[in-house]
Each structure stands twice: as structure tokens, then as C-alpha cells.
């Protein structure tokens, strides 16, 4: 990922100083506008804006712990947890560093493209001062809040909870279909249609959850619950474990049991939120 970030900056004409603990790897990135250096202190000294992208937050802290960062802006694009981002912000504040946390919601090949999204949260000053530069890493990039943990919450929500679960559910579903003689081109065509519907549904869901208005004149939650429960039984009878479908049925049943069966499917939000008893 670091190489992709460097290429995007250098490609847009910015000078980048690169440090990697394995110096040969940094040397391999040498190019017009890219200068590899042997020590991290040297890299920081040459840069008003320090961008970190290592494996973990602990690696970032360990690498920068002895370095004088006072007066610098630090943007940390390493993946982590919301709690980790808060700890990182405290660590930076103790060193008089303006801290912006970033989450990369893209693969390396998409870095620098108009569709790539990097979410930033934390120091508004860094977001304002370096916003144009940071958007070079992805055209959809945004500063989304003052709390350092918000970027990681966005990542945890959209990538880990939604995208990863959705693609795993698709693999489960597609395996079931293809193993049972649904022709691949039929599966592809049906998938295209459903993805369009999913696009509309996610927009409606965000609005419904934000307002608490789960009313619908289309499909009731209980209709989904009955349908998916029947499908789950028949899929499982065929020997397929259908783990994600099982989890879906559990969520829908819980929402129905909580009295939301006549509302839209987004009323599941009411049983997603932490329950008073735990």
C-alpha cells in the first residue's frame, strides 16, 4: 500500500521522502520526485507532513517514538480499531503533533483514482491545510469528523461489517446456485439486477436508520423473515450449512419477535443497537 501512496503523490508532482525499515524496499521506490532515505528521523526532518502506513498502530508508535515530531502534521493511514485511533491521537497530542487518522477504503491499484475513498478524521487543521494533497490519493476522500476514531468506525462499518460480509454471503449464495445447475450467465445477470436494487436499498436504509422511520408500502420485515426462514430450511436440508443466511434469519426473527414485523426491513436496526440488558 505504501508504494501505491507514494506513486500517487509523486505522479501528481509532489516531492516525497520515503523511509522503510527494510532500506532496500525504500530504494526500490526511487523515482522522479521520490527520495528514499535510510533513517526515519531524516524523512521526518524533511517533511512538514508525515504520512505513516505500516502494519499496525504499534509499529507506527515504535518507529516514531524517539523522533522529534513537534510542529509536524501526522497522517496515519495504518488500519486499526476505533480505540486504537483514540490512543494514537492521545500519543500524538502528548508530542505536540497535529494528528489526522485515515482509513483506506480501497485496494492499492485504486489509490490515486477518482473512485478511491480514504476517510480522514481528527485534526480539522490538517484536513483543511492538506486536504487537496490528501485527495490526490483518492477522488472520493473526505474529512469526516473531529474525533480521531470516526475514520476507523467508517472503515469497520463499510468495509469489515458490510463489504466483507456481503462478498462472503455472495460466495455462499453463488456456490449454492452454481453447484445446483444455475448457469453462470444467468447468475451474472440476476446479480447485476440485485446489485442495482441493493444500491437503492442502502440509500433508503441509511435514511430510515437516521430518522427511525421504518415504514414501508413494499415488503414487510415479516415477509422477508418467512421467506428466508423457508429458504434456509431447504438449503440446509440439501446439506449446505448456509452460515450467513442463518445469521440473517436470526436477525430478522429477532426484529419480528421485538414487534417490528409490520415495518420495513430496516427496523432490524432496533435489534442491532445495544440492548439494555447487555
Ligand X SMILES: NC(=O)c1ccc[n+]([C@@H]2O[C@H](COP(=O)([O-])OP(=O)(O)OC[C@H]3O[C@@H](n4cnc5c(N)ncnc54)[C@H](OP(=O)(O)O)[C@@H]3O)[C@@H](O)[C@H]2O)c1
In the complex, the residues that contact ligand X under the rule CB under 6 A are 1-2, 20-22, 25, 53-55, 59, 62-63, 78-79, 104, 107-108
- 20/248 with CB nearer ligand X: 20
Taking CA atoms, 269 is separated from 66, 256, 274, in Å, by: 45, 12, 10
- 40/271 with CB nearer ligand X: 40
Residue closest to ligand X when measured from CB atoms: 79
Taking CA atoms, 7 is separated from 14, 46, 185, in Å, by: 10, 18, 38
Q: How far is the CB of 35 from ligand X (least distance, A)?
A: 17
Instruction: Using alpha carbons only, give the angle 10, 15, 16 rounded to the nearest 5 degrees.
Output: 80
Give the C-alpha separation, 19 to 263, whole Å. 55
Q: How far is the CB of 75 from ligand X (least distance, A)?
A: 13
- 1/46 with CB nearer ligand X: 1
Give the C-alpha separation, 16 to 31, whole Å. 10
Q: How far is the CB of 106 from ligand X (least distance, A)?
A: 6
Q: How far is the CB of 38 from ligand X (least distance, A)?
A: 13
**Grid cell digits, residue 256:** 419480528
- 141/248 with CB nearer ligand X: 141
Alpha helices, DSSP H, located in the chain: 2-11, 23-27, 40-45, 57-64, 82-93, 124-135, 150-155, 165-179, 184-211, 221-237, 243-255, 269-272
Q: How far is the CB of 154 from ligand X (least distance, A)?
A: 13
Q: How far is the CB of 262 from ligand X (least distance, A)?
A: 41
- 107/162 with CB nearer ligand X: 107
Burial of 19 (0-12, 13-18, 19+ CB in 10 A): buried
- 20/141 with CB nearer ligand X: 20
Give the C-alpha separation, 59 to 243, whole Å. 35
Amino acid at each position: 500500500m505504501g508504494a501505491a501512496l507514494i506513486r500517487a503523490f509523486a505522479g501528481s508532482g509532489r516531492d516525497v521522502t520515503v523511509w522503510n525499515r527494510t532500506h532496500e524496499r525504500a530504494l526500490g521506490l526511487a523515482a522522479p520526485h521520490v527520495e528514499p532515505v535510510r533513517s526515519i528521523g531524516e524523512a521526518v526532518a524533511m517533511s512538514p507532513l508525515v504520512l505513516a502506513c505500516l502494519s499496525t498502530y504499534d509499529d507506527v508508535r515504535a518507529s516514531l517514538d524517539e523522533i522529534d515530531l513537534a510542529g509536524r502534521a501526522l497522517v496515519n493511514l495504518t488500519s486499526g480499531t476505533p480505540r486504537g485511533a483514540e490512543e494514537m491521537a492521545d500519543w500524538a497530542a502528548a508530542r505536540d503533533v497535529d494528528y489526522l487518522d485515515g482509513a483506506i477504503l480501497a485496494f492499492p491499484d485504486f489509490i490515486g483514482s477518482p473512485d478511491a475513498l480514504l476517510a480522514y478524521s481528527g485534526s480539522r487543521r490538517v484536513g483543511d491545510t492538506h486536504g487537496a494533497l490528501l485527495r490526490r490519493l483518492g477522488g472520493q476522500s473526505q474529512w469526516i469528523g473531529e474525533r480521531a476514531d470516526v475514520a476507523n468506525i467508517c472503515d469497520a462499518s463499510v468495509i469489515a461489517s458490510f463489504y466483507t460480509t456481503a462478498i462472503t454471503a455472495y460466495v455462499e449464495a453463488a456456490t449454492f446456485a452454481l453447484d445446483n445447475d444455475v448457469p453462470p450467465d444467468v447468475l451474472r445477470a440476476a446479480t447485476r439486477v440485485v446489485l442495482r436494487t441493493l444500491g437503492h436499498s442502502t440509500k433508503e436504509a441509511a435514511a430510515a436508520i437516521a430518522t427511525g422511520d421504518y415504514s414501508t408500502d413494499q415488503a414487510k420485515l415479516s415477509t422477508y423473515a418467512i421467506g428466508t426462514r423457508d429458504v434456509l430450511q431447504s438449503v440446509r436440508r440439501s446439506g449446505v450449512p448456509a452460515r450467513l443466511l442463518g445469521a440473517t434469519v436470526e436477525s430478522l426473527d429477532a426484529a419480528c419477535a421485538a414487534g417490528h414485523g409490520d415495518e420495513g426491513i430496516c427496523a432490524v436496526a432496533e435489534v442491532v443497537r445495544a440492548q439494555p440488558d447487555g
